Structure 1
Amino acid sequence: MAAQPKVAKVEGKNKKDASFETADKEQQEAIEKIDEVQNEIDRLNEQASDEILKVEQKYNKLRQPFFQKRSEMIAKIPNFWVTAFVNHPQVSALLNDEDEEVFHFLTKVEVQEFDDIKSGYKITFHFKENEFFKNQTISKEFHLNETGEPSSISTPINWKNGKDLVKKYAAKGGSGDRKRNHEDQQPESFFSWFSDNSDAGVDELGEVIKDDIWPNPLQYYLASEMDEDHSGEEGDDGVDDDEDGDGVDEDDDEEDS
């Protein structure tokens, strides 16, 4: 009789183990099915990426004649590009006074995305003859290799004697974060960014030019005029009832009399 409880206890344990085994098996089967579904989702994502890439390539080609036409119109406006860059908050933070002098000779900017788009892009700056360097064009290219590792290369700038802004501002100890601060620190030159290819992975300025300025530079060229218009409207709202401009309210005069 004493052996019976032990047998019952063993049987209960076997049932519990069996239920765990069943649960583990069901869980494993669910995981395998989820993995199969996830593989299908990944396959569709890859297919979507390929189709999106084809659409982007198509419309990049369609946009080219309009970019060319826009460049021809921009060429008729003096100081278009320097104004657009100075009005852009992020780019302006990297422009010191001498950079702005150089940018007054900037006649054309071009952004060219590579054929497969995902592999990178190229920014080209066109300059008329100037006192700073001999190059008529300088370019910076951004590349992604097959593993997605970023890199960049840029045109060597042929600076004229004593005009190398990169060396000049490096010698002055330009701020590492390249922020404009006339009181505390001398900012690095814009051309320090242009010539620096040490860490393309953290290069935000190229993306700003490609994705923000290049699609619609006119909005930044007109930004200063729009700010002036807004400030004028605010001034109108602040006009008081003193039409004579003598600083005395007519109602107060009547009450005093």
Structure 2
Amino acid sequence: MSATSAKVSRKENSNHDGADETSEKEQQEAIEHIDEVQNEIDRLNEQASEEILKVEQKYNKLRQPFFQKRSELIAKIPNFWVTTFVNHPQVSALLGEEDEEALHYLSRVEVTEFEDIKSGYRIDFYFDENPYFENKALSKEFNVNESGDPVSKSTEIKWKAGKDLTKRTGQTPNKAGKKRQHEEPESFFTWFTDHSDAGADELGEVIKDDIWPNPLQYYLVPDMEDEEGDGNDDDDEEEGLEDIDEGEEEEGEDEDEDGDGEDGEDDGEDD
């Protein structure tokens, strides 16, 4: 290689290295700017959350008189809450026959979200005098401890002698449970003693976010077995009508054939 060629080669490598350094510097600056922009986005998200929380608190207060009025009206309907729970696909899977019997004494359900919504909520179940436990009310509360971790606590159920449903592992599932192939459901009432995962309490969230906002939609769910039975009856009726129609058509055809024959004989006699 000549001296001139060597100089050109060194110059090209030097330019290439410079380009790499410039590219890396630009990338680093871009990353720093992205981080700054992201901080602004996070700040706005936090501000939005605070404003949304204030709106939720405002409308929670506005909804309270309507919830109260709804509870007064529900109290006029026997077995409203047990029917609602049995008709709900997720809750019904937790109900054995004896759970359902106990819930026939459930007269009122109330969900209360704390003023600082982020801190939690409470679900209260009010019962009439019943053969299962002494309590007039059972509650489960969800909140956040000092460390910011979700926790829960609940009323201790004072079971009457021999009536503790949480100790009966062989409960017979109700009809809804059978449909969903839950052969041995846990008792609904074990939920009151389960505090293992307060941050993801499925039953609590279903009651608070799905059932409580509009329990009427589940109370009014028609019995699927009745619907299926009605459908079969309709099919049977339609089949019966088809058979009758076919029979009438066949008889009509026979009469026509007989009529044609008689006409033929008459024509013959006239000839």
Match in the other structure for 2:258: none
% same residue? 61
Pairwise CA distance, 1:141: 1.0
Unaligned segments of structure 2, at least 5 residues: 256-271
Q: Confirm or deny that 1:64 pairs with 2:64.
A: yes
Counterpart mapping for 1:140-159 below 5 A: 140-145=140-145, 149-159=149-159
- Cα separation, partners in 2 of 1:237 and 1:146, compared to 1, 3 Å: farther
Q: TM-score, normalised by structure 2?
A: 0.82
Match in the other structure for 1:9: 9
Match in the other structure for 2:217: 219
Aligned 8 A contact 2:98 2:171 in 1:
no
Q: Confirm or deny that 1:38 pairs with 2:42.
A: no
Q: Confirm or deny that 1:118 pairs with 2:118.
A: yes
Match in the other structure for 1:167: 167
Aligned 8 A contact 2:79 2:106 in 1:
yes
- Cα separation, partners in 2 of 1:24 and 1:174, compared to 1, 3 Å: farther
Aligned 8 A contact 1:241 1:249 in 2:
no
Match in the other structure for 2:93: 93
Aligned 8 A contact 1:125 1:139 in 2:
yes
Match in the other structure for 1:207: 205
Match in the other structure for 1:49: 49
Aligned 8 A contact 1:113 1:122 in 2:
yes
Aligned 8 A contact 1:57 1:117 in 2:
yes
Aligned 8 A contact 1:111 1:214 in 2:
yes
User: How many residue pairs end up in the alignment?
Assistant: 252
Q: TM-score, normalised by structure 1?
A: 0.86
Aligned 8 A contact 1:166 1:191 in 2:
yes
Pairwise CA distance, 1:220: 0.8
Q: Confirm or deny that 1:254 pairs with 2:242.
A: no
Question: In 1, distance between residues paired with 2:164 and 2:106?
Answer: 17
